[in-house]
Amino acid sequence: MSQQKNRWQAERWLTTAHEDLQAARVLAAEGLFAAACFHAEQCGEKAVKAIWYLEDIDPWGHSILKLLQDFPYRDELPDSDRWMRDAGLLDQFYVPTRYPNGLPDLTPGQIFTDEDAQRALRAAENLLHQCRAWFEERG
């Protein structure tokens, strides 16, 4: 792919990550904490995939932590320990926030709390911010 096409593709992913973060905030404000956690996870996943596309690499998978561990420029990520902590936190919200059979005998709405949503939002905001900074430096 051309450098211009890579940037265009990466920006699409980063824009969608931002939209997922906005959705997560609205859902949290409305008390839909499980859905807020999932959309925060989606923000993180799409933001990290955006930096893969920016570097002309096709990302694969849904684990944000695995995407970061496999990122060829991982050693260049500033404060990579925080990236990894935020990714690991958000990965926990990928399945159980969406499926009633992802939890024993309860629905996601019965398990996830405002505190969970706030932690997920902070992690997603940080990853999105870091990925935007990557764009500014490398794009």
The answer for residues whose C-beta is within 8 angstroms of residue 28's C-beta and 6 or more apart is 36, 114, 117, 118, 121
Summarize pLDDT for 24-68 with one digit per residue, the tens: 999 999 999 999 999 999 999 999 999 999 999 999 999 999 999
Domain residue limits, the chain: 3-138
Query: Does 1 have pLDDT greater than 60?
Result: no
- Give the global pTM: 0.95
The verdict on domain 3-138 having CATH code 1.20.120.330 is yes
Q: Any idea what the Cα angle at residue 84 is, between residues 113 and 47, rounded to 5°?
A: 80
